Amino acid sequence: MSDPANRPTASYQANPEDVQRVLLLYSGGLDTSVMLKWIQEKYEAEVVALTVNLGQPGEDYDVIRGKAQHLGALECRVVDAREEFAHEYVLPAIKANAIYGSGYPLFTALGRPLIAKLAVEQARETGCDTIAHGCTGKGNDQVRIEATIATLAPDLKVIAPVRSWQMGREEEVAYAREHGIPVRGGTEVAPYSIDDNLWGRSSEGRWIENLDHAPDDDVFQLVTRPEEAPDEAEVVTVGFERGVPVTLNGERYGLVELIERAGEVGARHGIGIVDQLEDRIVGLKVRDIYEVPAAAILLPAHQELEWLVGTIHQNQLKPSLDQKWAYLVYAGLWLEPLRADLDAYMNAANSQVTGTIGVKLYKGSARVVTRSSPNAVYDAQLVTFHESGGLFSHEASPGFIELWSLQSRIAWRVRHGSDA
Ligand code: ARG
């Protein structure tokens, strides 16, 4: 009988003796490079490395692959998942106007379930019994990755060395030195903790943890500082078909390229800097600096178009469903059936979201300035202050007001006396 005190807390946690071959989610950075060696040493297991391309800029996948092989990986697979990420993850987020908190468009939260799904697929193909990832015990990412793996592949085990190895950065650097692991960018200053993909970039750590410290300029690697952005404003038009962004300034692009181009023009104008205090699902309140130039153009454009084609009733309901969708995704429950249920509504609502929105970009601000749609619930004739040609009945207004205010008037009389 095994000692209950030594039993793993969760069904998917690995007993070290059962770990034979590990699929490691590998970024090429310090943590996962140390991990690549550490797993071989500690578990006497083989390691297959997997690196997923979600459109994070400036990555050299040949270098990453070479590094993994140098550190003893059986092989290093690089999966280009940009199309799948854009169409199956970012697009539903656009249709749901997905924002968590005051401005986080969930790029990391959207990427994790896809990475976890690919890890399961690759673990199957390469005969791995265990998946390892580099998340810490203090973040949301461990939840997203492990919840997805445990849902899709209950038989696979998961190890999260950063949660257990009790090495700080200094010990990790020392371990790297001892084991011939190259450390990028010197070892003196701890770098920001970065995560990025096609849909945005986040920075955590260092001074960001001091809430009264205003952002240092060196954190912004994607977006131009608004002070340095062009003095001339620029209007970009975004064309949507059934909720899908399909054109930029009248040019048609595939989704990946459209997001990249929107990101470039937004970054040039200083758009999409978010300095957010965030309630994590593991109980911590943490500050993040986000750079989300594409999302800061495409989401407001989408929302405005949705607003234009929706009725008052649809427009009142949708934000509450959007918020629920964003929270499920933030909280690591991508595979929760409610998310698919909500997607059915999102798709129904987006069936009308066709048209074009112009967004004016100027030194860090993105403001909707033009709207047009064949499905607009809008009649310029009705709205105008000029004579509306009998379409809108002025005579009906007093009768409407009489009935519309009836309950409120009765309540007022009851509370304030009949002769008030
Ligand atoms: N706070 C964000 C989230 O929970 C971003 C996390 C970034 N992840 C990272 N490993 N640096 O989604």
Which uninterrupted H or E stretch holds 251?
Answer: strand 251-252
Average pLDDT (111-124) is: 98
- pLDDT-derived band at 387 (thresholds 50, 70, 90) equals low
Residue 368 pLDDT exceeds 90: yes
237 pocket-lining for ligand 1 (C-beta < 6 Å): no
365 pocket-lining for ligand 1 (C-beta < 6 Å): no
pLDDT in tens, 21-63: 999 999 999 999 999 999 999 999 999 999 999 999 999 999 9
Atom nearest to 136 CA in ligand 1: 10
The rounded distance, in Å, linking the Cα atoms of 255 and 368 is 21
Residue 1, pLDDT score: 46
Burial of 382 (0-12, 13-18, 19+ CB in 10 A): exposed
Pair 68, 40: CB distance under 8 Å: no
- Report the separation in Å between the CA atom of 136 and the middle of ligand 1, taken as the mean of its atom positions: 11
Minimum CA distance residue for ligand 1 atom 4:
140
Collapsing DSSP to helix, strand or coil, 266 comes out as: helix
Residue 386 pLDDT exceeds 50: yes
Residue 187, pLDDT score: 59
Atom nearest to 112 CA in ligand 1: 12
- Report the separation in Å between the CA atom of 205 and the middle of ligand 1, taken as the mean of its atom positions: 11
- Report the separation in Å between the CA atom of 201 and the middle of ligand 1, taken as the mean of its atom positions: 9
- Report the separation in Å between the CA atom of 202 and the middle of ligand 1, taken as the mean of its atom positions: 7
Minimum CA distance residue for ligand 1 atom 6:
108
The rounded distance, in Å, linking the Cα atoms of 327 and 345 is 16
Q: In what order do the strands lie in the sheet with 365-372?
A: 251-252, 244-248, 234-241, 355-362, 365-372
Pair 26, 64: CB distance under 8 Å: yes
Residue 141, pLDDT score: 98
Neighbouring C-beta atoms of residue 387, cutoff 10 Å: 7
- Residue of 193, 365, 372, 388 with catalytic role: 193
Closest to 352 measured CA to CA, from 308, 317, 318: 308
Which uninterrupted H or E stretch holds 264?
Answer: helix 255-268
Query: For 370, how many CA atoms within 13 A lie in the half-sphere containing its CB?
Result: 13
Residue 157, pLDDT score: 97
pLDDT in tens, 124-143: 999 999 999 999 999 999 99
Residue 383, pLDDT score: 83
- Residue of 27, 33, 82, 141 with catalytic role: 141
Which uninterrupted H or E stretch holds 41?
Answer: helix 30-43
Q: 3 an active-site residue?
A: no
Which uninterrupted H or E stretch holds 232?
Answer: none
Pair 93, 111: CB distance under 8 Å: no
142 pocket-lining for ligand 1 (C-beta < 6 Å): no
Collapsing DSSP to helix, strand or coil, 243 comes out as: coil
Query: For 56, how many CA atoms within 13 A lie in the half-sphere containing its CB?
Result: 18
Q: What is the CA radius of gyration of the chain?
A: 26
Least confident of 84-98, 177-191, 398-412: 177-191
- Residue of 31, 196, 288, 322 with catalytic role: 31
204 pocket-lining for ligand 1 (C-beta < 6 Å): yes
Q: 217 an active-site residue?
A: no
Q: What percent of the chain has pLDDT over 90?
A: 90
Query: In the chain, how many H helices and how many E strands?
Result: 15, 14
Whole-prediction pTM: 0.96
Q: 415 an active-site residue?
A: no
Which uninterrupted H or E stretch holds 24?
Answer: strand 21-25
Pair 290, 103: CB distance under 8 Å: yes
pLDDT in tens, 198-249: 999 999 999 999 999 999 999 999 999 999 999 999 999 999 999 999 999 9
Residue 90 pLDDT exceeds 60: yes
Pair 286, 316: CB distance under 8 Å: no
197 pocket-lining for ligand 1 (C-beta < 6 Å): no
pLDDT in tens, 304-334: 999 999 999 999 999 999 999 999 999 999 9
Residue 325, pLDDT score: 98
- Report the separation in Å between the CA atom of 336 and the middle of ligand 1, taken as the mean of its atom positions: 20
Minimum CA distance residue for ligand 1 atom 9:
195
- Report the separation in Å between the CA atom of 123 and the middle of ligand 1, taken as the mean of its atom positions: 24
Residue 392, pLDDT score: 82
pLDDT in tens, 369-379: 999 999 999 98
- pLDDT-derived band at 419 (thresholds 50, 70, 90) equals low
202 pocket-lining for ligand 1 (C-beta < 6 Å): yes
Residue 2 pLDDT exceeds 60: no
Q: 112 an active-site residue?
A: yes
Residue 418, pLDDT score: 65
The rounded distance, in Å, linking the Cα atoms of 366 and 300 is 8
Average pLDDT, the chain: 95
Average pLDDT (283-310) is: 98
Residue 62, pLDDT score: 97
